[in-house]
Amino acid sequence: MRLRSALLCLGLLASLGVSSGSVATQVDVRGAVNAGGTRNIPAGARLSQAALSSPLHRDAYTAGAAWLRPALQAAQSRDKAGVLFDLNQLRLHALKDEHDGLADLAARMASWVQRMPVTGRQVALLDPRALEVTPAENKPVAEGDALYYPTRPSTIRVVGAVAAACELPHVALQDAMRYLKACPLLKEADNDWIFVIQPDGRVFRQGMGAWNRSHPLSLAPGAVVYVPISEYRLKNVAPDLNRELANFLATQPIAWPEAQP
């Protein structure tokens, strides 16, 4: 029965003058690429074919490239709404307890998260040639997917429970914690942990207390250090807020025009 249905479909396509091999998937390739824009690639094509459809510029930064998938946007919209809800609950509890500094921080962070777009980013290897020889990473693309290739940045950012977000020069092999010396923390910051979001979207939690100190963790250019709110302040209100916020930060491509406030 399935074979008969397939043959009927092929016959219909033929009667319309459309060959079965002509079906295409539209993907968008943008950023540091030659002649970026919408590309038609074969149905069932994989990341390597999408990436090779628009040759990269010499200064394209594949370590910070992003695969943006409409299929993931609904789930990420819910994640964003959850983070905003938790920040509002934290603000209300802080006002009730007369912790004005914490209330101000929660409000500022909520405004910051509100401006972030929902991107549908999925962590992936996006170096075109590396994909060709790494079958496990060479995943299928779908209609409407986009690949974004930024140019290589020269800075990292420190955000979160800090007096003001800092953009600092990247120092090769420098431990993530050392960047904090140039970006003053608020008293509401957690003193035991930070989150590191590498430019490819991977998230790491790094211990920095005397009791939980992690091995040094160097940053790639374009990385983000998220200084979390004190876990003690969150435990009765939104205990998972820091991890959820770090994960949502990881969906933001570096230097992506749509991600700028």
72: which strand partners?
A: none
pLDDT exceeds 80 at position 16? no
45: which strand partners?
A: none
Phi, psi of 110 (to 5 degrees): -65, -40
pLDDT exceeds 60 at position 231? yes
* 118, amino acid identity: V
Residue whose token pair is 């998220």: 226
Looking at residue 200, its pLDDT comes to 97
Looking at residue 52, its pLDDT comes to 94
Spatial separation of the C-alpha atoms in residues 115 and 29, rounded to whole Å: 24
Instruction: Kindly report, residue by residue over 70-117, the tens digit of the pLDDT.
Output: 999 999 999 999 999 999 999 999 999 999 999 999 999 999 999 999
> Are 186 and 209 within 8 A, CB to CB?
no
pLDDT exceeds 70 at position 26? yes
Looking at residue 35, its pLDDT comes to 84
> Are 194 and 176 within 8 A, CB to CB?
yes
Tokens of 73: 């946007």
Q: How far is CA 76 from CA 80, 81, 150, in A?
A: 6, 9, 22
Write down all domains in the chain, each with its CATH number in brackets. 22-69+120-152 (3.10.560.10), 70-119+153-253 (3.10.560.10)
Instruction: Kindly report, residue by residue over 194-214, the tens digit of the pLDDT.
Output: 999 999 999 999 999 999 999
Per-residue b/e over 231-261, b at no fewer than 16 CB within 10 Å? Answer: eebbeebbeebbeebbbbbbbbbbbbeebee
* 125, amino acid identity: L
Q: Where are the beta strands (DSSP E) in 177-241?
A: 193-197, 203-207, 224-227
Looking at residue 23, its pLDDT comes to 78
Instruction: Kindly report, residue by residue over 140-192, the tens digit of the pLDDT.
Output: 999 999 999 999 999 999 999 999 999 999 999 999 999 999 999 999 999 99
> Are 118 and 77 within 8 A, CB to CB?
yes
